[in-house]
Amino acid sequence: MPTPDPSRKREGRTVREAIAAATTRLNATSETPRLDAELLAAHLLGIGREAMLLGRLDDMIGKTEFDALAARRAAGEPMAYILGHREFWSLDLAVGPGVLVPRPDSETLIETARAHFAGKAGPESVLDLGTGSGALLLAALSEWPDARGIGIDRSDTALVWAKRNADVLGFATRATFRLGDWADGLEGPFDLVLCNPPYVETGADLPRDVRDHEPAEALFAGEDGLDEYRRIARAIGPLLSQNGIACIEIGASQADRVARLLSAQGLRTRLFRDLAGRDRCLLVHS
């Protein structure tokens, strides 16, 4: 047997070594560098993070491939784009460039709707305005198996992701996606309207991965962040069924201003907060 050459460097590293190196590299650009490094390693190995941590840390991992993933994260690319998916309401959603990454805070809209319909007949018709990846609509359909829904978005790219998610998750026969500009040309009524519109003020200081990579048209809404709410407020009332509700996401400081826009259209609102205690959702009804 040939004697190993101690001067020859290994082409790979152990998972443990790779994670340690990537954590150091990502310290300057990520709030969770260790977690990001672990998720990248697990992604490259094709296994879950927990399984990797429990028994695969001493496996070898390709240096070139892993360093390429770490470089993308160090450049500010969102983890969800690198991994190709993001969990929302226990659904594994495919995401990538051109579509907003679903946030856990937005689950507040589904929680609000679920609490409202508890003990009642669930919604049969659901509308998701600005559907993006389809996160809110598909979460609602998973919650109410008898419901059917429509997702509207003005981005062709976002609709590609939404349709893909509906197909993969088994909702293709219950979810329809259309290109549109909010409710223009759309007829109701709907038992549940969901909406997570752009609400960031133009020029706001956002994290680098959001600012440089996620679609600006899904984030920004004028100098005060209310441009899209002004349009949505006029559209919501005619879309609601007799006992229907809308759940609309808001920025943490926008509750009063958005509520006034809706009140001016004869609609009533109730505020709900996310798990961090921030204002997050307005439940709207006539």
pLDDT at 11: 56
List, for residues 242-285, the tens digit of each pLDDT value.
999 999 999 999 999 999 999 999 999 999 999 999 999 999 99
Domains annotated on the chain, with CATH: 12-75 (1.10.8.10), 85-285 (3.40.50.150)
What band does 131 get if pLDDT is binned at 50, 70 and 90? Answer: very high
pLDDT at residue 10 greater than cutoff 90: no
Residue 26 β-bridge partners: none
What band does 203 get if pLDDT is binned at 50, 70 and 90? Answer: confident
What average pLDDT does the structure give for the chain?
Answer: 94
What band does 127 get if pLDDT is binned at 50, 70 and 90? Answer: very high
Please enumerate in sequence order all residues whose Cβ is within 8 A of that of 280, keeping only pairs 6 or more positions apart, or say none. Answer: 105, 108, 109, 249, 250, 252, 272, 273, 274
Q: What is the mean pLDDT of residues 160-178?
A: 98
pLDDT at 259: 98
List, for residues 248-258, the tens digit of each pLDDT value.
999 999 999 99
Residue 107 CB neighbour total at 10 angstroms: 20
pLDDT at residue 12 greater than cutoff 90: no
pLDDT at 29: 87
List, for residues 23-45, the tens digit of each pLDDT value.
999 998 899 999 999 999 999 99
pLDDT at 8: 36
State which amino acid sits at residue 211.
Answer: R
Q: What tokens appear for 37 in the block?
A: 């490094």
Q: What are phi and psi of 29, to 5 degrees?
A: -125, -10
Kindly report the CA angle at 229 between 131 and 146, in degrees rounded to 5? 35
pLDDT at residue 5 greater than cutoff 70: no
State which amino acid sits at residue 171.
Answer: F
Residue in the block written with tokens 């594994």: 92
CA distances for 216 relative to 101, 107, 201, 220, 222, angstroms: 12, 21, 11, 6, 11
Query: Which has the closest alpha carbon to 218: 140, 113, 127, 103?
Result: 103
pLDDT at 205: 87
pLDDT at residue 120 greater than cutoff 70: yes
Q: How far is it, in rounded angstroms, from Cα 51 to Cα 202? A: 43
Q: What tokens appear for 147 in the block?
A: 């419901």
pLDDT at 190: 98
List, for residues 217-237, the tens digit of each pLDDT value.
999 999 999 999 999 999 999
Please enumerate in sequence order all residues whose Cβ is within 8 A of that of 231, keeping only pairs 6 or more positions apart, or say none. Answer: 182
Q: How far is it, in rounded angstroms, from Cα 224 to Cα 239? A: 26
pLDDT at 207: 86
List, for residues 51-108, the tens digit of each pLDDT value.
999 999 999 999 999 999 999 999 999 999 999 999 999 999 999 999 999 999 999 9
Q: 81-87, long-range: CB within 8 Å, 24+ apart, which pairs?
A: 81/213, 82/40, 82/43, 83/39, 83/40, 83/43, 86/133
Q: How far is it, in rounded angstroms, from Cα 39 to Cα 170? A: 26
Kindly report the CA angle at 217 between 133 and 164, in degrees rounded to 5? 20
Q: Which of these ranges, 104-108, 150-154, 186-190, 282-286, has the smallest mean pLDDT? A: 186-190
pLDDT at 226: 97
